[in-house]
Amino acid sequence: MSNLSGRQLWQPVTLGQMQRVKNWYQAQHGAHPVEHELWEAVLTLWMMGWIGWLPAYAFDAPWAYPLCLLGVLAPQLYVHLRARAHERLRLRCDWLDLVR
């Protein structure tokens, strides 16, 4: 197991890294169906966050801005939480090397 410092836990997640994790989950779908669906939900929130900015601005809904920001940051937050759980030996995260 690699030593993960707090500085390394919070890093931007690129599109390529998200695609590698998605491919890993698709390959492991039978062994990890709940995690696969959770990653799909994270990607859905990410997409909703990016798409929601324009309607929130156009319809003058400033209350939606934090929700959009949370959606945009969803993959990064998910990876961060999974990395912390992996570091504390609470969850095993086999795909963590794909985003490092």
**What global pTM score does this model have?**
0.82
* Amino acid in position 17: Q
Tokens of 94: 């086999």
Tokens of 5: 């410092």
Q: Is 92 left (phi over 0), alpha (psi -120 to 50) or beta?
A: beta
CB-based contact 62:56 (threshold 8 Å)? yes
Residues written for the chain: 100
Over its length of 100 residues, how does the chain's per-residue pLDDT go in tens digits?
445 445 455 678 899 999 999 999 889 888 888 888 999 999 999 999 999 999 999 999 999 999 999 999 999 999 999 999 999 999 888 888 888 7
